[in-house]
Structures are given as C-alpha cells and as structure tokens.
C-alpha cells in the first residue's frame, strides 16, 4: 500500500483536502470510521423514526443527543449534548447549512475587546478561500442567487422593524438553482436531519470528487492510533474488517472533528499541553410562540432568514455576539403528530380534528439565537477511563457556559419576546436550557508554538508531517456557524500542501 497522503475523516474538512490533493496528482487514502449513506434508506429511516438521530447508521462509538452519558463521560456543570455523525461525508449530512463568513472582529477578539484570543490569520487571508468554498458548497446568497424570504419571515420582519431589527436572508449551502449536478431546493423543510434530494450540500459531494480524482476511500475503518518514529508520524493503526492493520504515508491529515481529533492525538501520545483544551460551541436559545393568524411554516428550508446585527459591537467586551434565526419548522414540542395526539386526547376527531391541527400548526413561530462562546482552558476533551467498543478511551468532557455567553442568552430572550409581543403572539415559551449540540470548535487551536497545537498553516508544532483540519483549530468560536470557515481553511491548507512536494 503505497500512499503519499492519509486523510483521517471524510467530512467536509477531510474530503476537500483529499479531493484537492488527489487532483494535484497525489496518491491519497481517505480513512473513514463510518459506512456510506444510502439517501433513500436514510429518508425512510427518518420518516419512520422517532427522532432525527435515527436517520443515519449509528455505531456504538458516537454521541446521542438524548443520551449524553452514553458515549461522553460528562464531567462538566451541564451535560455536553453535542451530536455528530460517523458516516462517509460526516456531519454535513445532518447540518442545516447556514454559511456566514466570519467577521474581522471574530478573528481579533483579544485586540478589539480584550477577551478570547486573536487568530494568527487576518480575514483578508481567508477571503479568497471563502469565495472558493462558497462556490464548492454552492452557497445561495453568495455563489448562487439567494433563496426567497418566506411569508413567515416577512411577518417576523414587519414586527422586528418596530425595534430597528433588520431581517435578512442568510447565505446557505443549499441550491437555489440546479447546480453542480444537484437539483434546486424544493422547500420540504427537512434539511436537518436530511435533504431527500441533495439540494442541500453534504460532503458526499467532495468524497465523490476525491474518488473521481483518483483517491481511495476505506469506509467502516476507524483509526485507533497514530504511530511515530524519529519525530515524525509514520503510520496509522486502524480496524478494517475486524483486523487491526497499519498503513503508512509521508503526510497525515487529521480531519476527525473537534472531539475525535484531540481524542486520537491524546490516545496516541501525540498531544501537547494544549490539546483538547478550549472546547467551544455556540449556545442556542430557542423560543416559540403561537401567532394570531396563520404564518405557514413547513413550506421552505427550516431557516431562510435571520437577524445578524447583534453579531458585533463594543458590547463584546462583556457579552457574546449572536445571530437570530427564524425557524420555518414549527415548535420542537409541537410537531403535527404531537399536536394531533393532544387534540385527540381532548376529544377532537374527523374533520374537526384535521381543521384544528391545521389551525394550530400553521400559526407556530420559532426563533433561535446562537451565541458565541469564549475559549476557556477548563472546557476540554480528555480521555476517560472507560473504553469504547475498540478499546480506545472514550471522550471525557468538562464543559460549562460562561457569564459572557449566558448574558447574551438573556439578551436574545428579550429580542425574541419583543418580536412575539409585537406580532400579538400567545403561548410564548423560552426554553430554559441553552443547548449546544451542533457547532463545535477549539481543542487543537492554531497559534504560536508553546501556546497552541498547530501553526497558521495547520501543521502540528511537534510533528512536522501531521496537519489538523476542521473547527478544532479555531482559536475562537466566532459569531458565524463554523463550516464555511472549516471549508475555507481546508482549501487553503490543501492548496499549500499541493504546492509542496515533500512535507
């Protein structure tokens, strides 16, 4: 087996690197822990399943949203409820696909606001790669025409205007026109957990492109350890068809996400004192209400529009920036079957039941604010004493939200409440627990030697032929969801590696 590059993980970060390097003529092996996804079967599992997490093949060694203790060993004040997929194409199968660029201030938190950390990059360094990433992912509102705001968005915008809040269509990696061999969005409102027609980008796109460019994929092959000799990483040990095997290559790219990448480094004895630290997410405040008249959710992507003006300002010295998203997918605790069940219990049946379900569901409003979190060393991934099914230590998680984030959660509740009130909505509920399941960052931060895990080229400070790609390298979490920046950094890293023959 004669590979020049081994990429661990086939999510958006890994598959973009594999594709770029294979296209540059390198012999690339992508090693992926999970199986390939059959879209039709996944849609069927989603339609028949109880929970969104039932959609994808689920192995024993991954987190489950409703059972946060099952895979993670929880050591924090609150349970860390992150979810991610272990399948070919990774978590983008499950994502919502909102793709904002970071702001310059997201990369300069220390110098502008005296909190967090500055990135070793400027926004200008990323801009060309953002443009390329928007083209690769097919971002509506950037590389493609924007999607239209929904009727519900327009009703929220009317109320929001009273307070000077501007509602705008958010960029999203979702085809607004047929593009890159994939169809335009049909508005079925199931983007997460799955787009039935592939209008939403998922990284199976770049896995396919990598294979077409000559890369090899080993799926259902979890990597269990990285092996070293004379200051270099020489091989990876993985489990393939029940056998433990080793594969070597002069260049290794670790793209296993912000939990699994540090876990592998720690378990392999390749960690430095910073590995696993500064775990971050984006805390989410969810609020729902019932509009006085139908606003017709469920007829578009789950989110099309939002409010971005709270991302930045001098307030970030003391509290977090946040983005408000307008949900077009109704209440988390009021999906149509749930509403029907409650109405049946109250004695509704037949046509009367149908009308009552329609009347309730068509008025459901949802607002979600995602607040940035600061990097704190005590929030971290380390190794548990308990082992996974392959004998590798499970991730131990220490995590708690800071006052900095919680104060903006409170501020977002005020914003949501004002909008609901102006709309004349009733049944307002601001969910108590700020959830953090989707966006991960930190744990292998980039920066200067002695203060971080990788440099600004994403190369390990200690292991010169090892690179880490993905949101693990973010020094701060920023006010945008992570994935467009993950893709931009992967493109930048792969371009640099493609130019250097030996690394």
Helices (H), 76-183: 109-113, 123-137, 151-161
Please say whether the beta carbons of 65 and 81 come within 8 A: yes
For residue 171, the 8-state DSSP code is P
- Minimal distance, residue 39 CB to ligand FAD, in Å: 16
- Minimal distance, residue 189 CB to ligand SF4, in Å: 5
From the list ligand SF4, ligand FAD, none, which binds 186 (C-beta under 5 to 8 Å, kind-based)?
Answer: ligand SF4
Closest CA to 433 of 290, 303, 283, 282: 283
C-alpha distance from residue 442 to each of 253, 281, 362, 502 (Å): 17, 8, 40, 28
Query: What span, in angstroms and rounded, lies between the C-alpha atoms of 211 and 58?
Result: 24
Interface residue with ligand FAD, options 5, 6, 7, 9 (CB under 6 A): 9
Please say whether the beta carbons of 417 and 287 come within 8 A: yes
- Minimal distance, residue 195 CB to ligand SF4, in Å: 3
Judged by the rule CB under 6 A, the positions of this chain that interact with ligand SF4 are: 174, 185-191, 195, 197, 199-200, 301
From the list ligand FAD, ligand SF4, none, which binds 301 (C-beta under 5 to 8 Å, kind-based)?
Answer: ligand SF4
- Minimal distance, residue 255 CB to ligand FAD, in Å: 6
Q: Contacts with ligand FAD: how many residues (CB under 6 A)?
A: 40
**What stretch of H or E contains 287?**
strand 282-290
268 is a contact residue toward ligand FAD (CB under 6 A): no
The pair phi, psi for residue 240, each rounded to 5°, is -130, 120
435 is a contact residue toward ligand FAD (CB under 6 A): no
Report helix, strand or coil for 118.
strand
Please say whether the beta carbons of 58 and 64 come within 8 A: yes
Site residues for ligand FAD, 235-264, by CB under 6 A, read 255-257, 260, 264
106 is a contact residue toward ligand FAD (CB under 6 A): no
96 is a contact residue toward ligand FAD (CB under 6 A): yes
Interface residue with ligand FAD, options 86, 206, 396, 492 (CB under 6 A): 86
492 is a contact residue toward ligand FAD (CB under 6 A): no
**What stretch of H or E contains 354?**
helix 350-361
From the list ligand SF4, ligand FAD, none, which binds 482 (C-beta under 5 to 8 Å, kind-based)?
Answer: ligand FAD
Query: What span, in angstroms and rounded, lies between the C-alpha atoms of 169 and 149?
Result: 6
- Sign of the Cα torsion 214, 218, 222, 224 reads negative
Q: Which is nearer to ligand FAD, 116 or 301 (CB)?
A: 301
From the list ligand SF4, ligand FAD, none, which binds 310 (C-beta under 5 to 8 Å, kind-based)?
Answer: none
Given the rule CB under 6 A, which residues bind ligand FAD?
8-14, 31-34, 83-84, 86-87, 90-92, 94-99, 192, 222-223, 255-257, 260, 264, 438-439, 470-471, 481-483, 486
């Amino acid at each position: 087996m004669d590979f020049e590059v081994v990429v661990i993980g086939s999510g958006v970060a890994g598959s973009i690197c594999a594709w770029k390097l294979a296209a540059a003529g390198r012999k690339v092996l992508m090693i992926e822990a999970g199986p390939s996804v059959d879209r039709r079967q996944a849609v069927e599992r989603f339609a028949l399943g109880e929970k969104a997490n039932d959609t994808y093949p689920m192995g024993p060694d991954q987190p489950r949203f409703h059972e946060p203790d099952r895979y993670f060993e929880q050591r924090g004040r609150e349970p860390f409820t992150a979810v991610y997929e272990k399948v070919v194409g990774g978590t983008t199968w499950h994502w919502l696909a909102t793709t904002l660029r970071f702001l310059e201030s997201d990369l300069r938190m220390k110098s502008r606001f005296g909190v967090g950390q500055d990135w070793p990059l400027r926004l200008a360094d990323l801009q060309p790669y953002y443009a390329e990433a928007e083209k690769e992912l097919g971002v509506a509102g950037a590389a493609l025409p924007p999607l239209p705001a929904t009727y519900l968005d327009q009703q929220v915008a009317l109320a929001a205007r009273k307070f000077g809040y501007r509602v705008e269509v958010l960029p999203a990696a979702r085809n607004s026109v047929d593009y890159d061999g994939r169809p335009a969005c049909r508005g079925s409102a199931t983007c997460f957990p799955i787009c039935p027609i592939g209008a939403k980008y998922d990284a199976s796109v770049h896995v396919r492109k990598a294979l077409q460019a000559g890369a090899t994929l080993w799926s259902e092959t979890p990597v269990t350890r990285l092996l070293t000799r004379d200051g270099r990483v020489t091989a990876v040990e993985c489990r393939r068809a029940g056998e433990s095997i080793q594969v070597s290559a002069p260049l290794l790219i670790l793209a296993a996400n912000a939990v699994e990448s540090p876990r592998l480094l720690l378990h392999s004895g390749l960690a430095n004192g910073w590995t696993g630290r500064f775990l971050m997410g984006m805390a989410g405040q969810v609020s729902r209400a019932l509009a006085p008249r139908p606003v017709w959710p469920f007829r578009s992507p789950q989110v099309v529009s939002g409010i971005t003006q709270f991302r930045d300002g001098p307030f970030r010295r003391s509290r977090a920036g946040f983005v408000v998203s307008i949900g077009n997918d109704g209440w988390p605790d009021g999906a149509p079957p749930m509403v029907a069940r409650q109405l049946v219990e109250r004695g509704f049946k037949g046509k009367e039941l149908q009308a009552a379900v329609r009347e309730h569901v068509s008025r459901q409003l949802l607002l979600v604010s995602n607040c940035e979190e600061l990097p704190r060393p005590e929030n971290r991934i380390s190794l548990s004493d308990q082992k996974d099914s392959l004998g590798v230590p499970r991730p131990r998680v220490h995590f708690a939200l800071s006052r900095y984030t919680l104060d903006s959660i409170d501020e977002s509740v005020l914003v949501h409440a004002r909008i609901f009130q102006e709309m004349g909505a009733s049944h307002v509920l601001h969910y108590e627990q700020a959830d953090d399941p989707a966006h991960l960052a930190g744990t292998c931060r980039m920066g200067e030697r002695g203060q971080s895990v990788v440099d600004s080229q994403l190369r390990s400070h200690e292991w010169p032929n090892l690179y880490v790609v993905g949101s693990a390298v973010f020094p701060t979490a920023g006010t945008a969801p992570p994935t467009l920046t993950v893709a931009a950094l992967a493109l930048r890293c792969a371009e640099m590696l493609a130019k250097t023959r030996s690394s």
